[in-house]
Amino acid sequence: MDFKASSEKTATKHSMLVCCKLYISESRNFLALDSIEQAANLNRETVIINKFKDSAYNRVRYTLVSYVVHGNGNGETYSPLQEAVLAMVEAAYGSINLELHSGAHPRLGVVDHICFHPLAQASLDEAARVAKMVAADIGNKFEVPVFLYEAAHPNGKALDTIRRELGYFQPNFMDNQWAGWALPEILVEKPDEGPTNVARARGIVVIGASPWVTTFNVPLVTSDVSAARRIARMSSARGGGLPGVQTLALVHGEESMEIACMLLDPNLVGADRVQSQVERLAAEEGMDVEKGYFTDFSPEMIFEIYMKLVSSG
């Protein structure tokens, strides 16, 4: 084999990458997580770059990366991510029952949220194509309602808009927790894929594609839920705070809250500005703030880790 030709082919193949973030409503059931990860490992062309789990939230996020090919002879888009994600989804539905789930983070389903982001030279359109293929598979194969957002949605509907319409942000247990399925079993809004009726053990899933979103959490030393919610609201774009920032105040253990932040344009407003804003508002409430933390790697670091793993076989 021509080594130079092989190297060039490999470089071209891995210049078009898509990152998938898969959020599953479970972090305490280690057998369930093990089965989900084993399902992912069956696909040798998809790499799990990161795993972030939180016991208080009872939630885990897997960050996966693989290549994407568009127009490979028949005009169709192909990515190994599709097969890997579906295998993980099947394992999750086979080992987790939403009716038995509880945690301090909102969720709509066992597989709660799947988002796709372009990396390297891939385009947002290619990430959206993969998102829509995965959505169709989940809706048809598992008969789970799927709602699409942003680049994967025909009209670019925003993720937070869909979540508000579905009651995502309303705790249903102890005023600040989420437990079981407490929404209607027949959806008022028609999903983009799958049935309008909801299986209580699985719930629904929201799937989309977007430019990179940075997730950043700021811990507060307090049990005052009302004050934490005021800080979250005044830190967000929706509350007149920082542009491109979405926030949520969540209980995170005893005497502890977190301002969970999504930075939709991290180049415009970064984590330092969010930290400063939260610290200023918290000082007005007379509470202490700890140093915030990122919940995932940067896209540059994810790309670097992926390429190292691929080159090492």
**Does residue 105 have an active-site annotation?**
yes
Q: How far is CA 285 from CA 2, 175, 228, 254, 272, in A?
A: 67, 21, 9, 19, 20
**Where are the strands (E) in 195-256, listed by range?**
205-209, 214-221, 245-251
Which backbone phi and psi does 308 adopt, to 5 degrees? -65, -40
**Token pair of 289 as six digits:** 């703030």
Question: Within 10 Å of residue 121's Cβ, how many Cβ atoms?
Answer: 11
Phi/psi for 43 (5° steps) reads: -95, 105
The active-site residue out of 101, 105, 113, 153 is 105
Burial of 171 (0-12, 13-18, 19+ CB in 10 A): middle
Angle, to 10 degrees, between the axis of helix 271-285 and the axis of helix 225-235?
140
End-to-end CA distance of the chain: 18
Q: Which of 186, 171, 168 is nearest to 107 (CA)?
A: 168
Helices marked H in 96-153 — which ranges? 124-141
Catalytic residues: 105
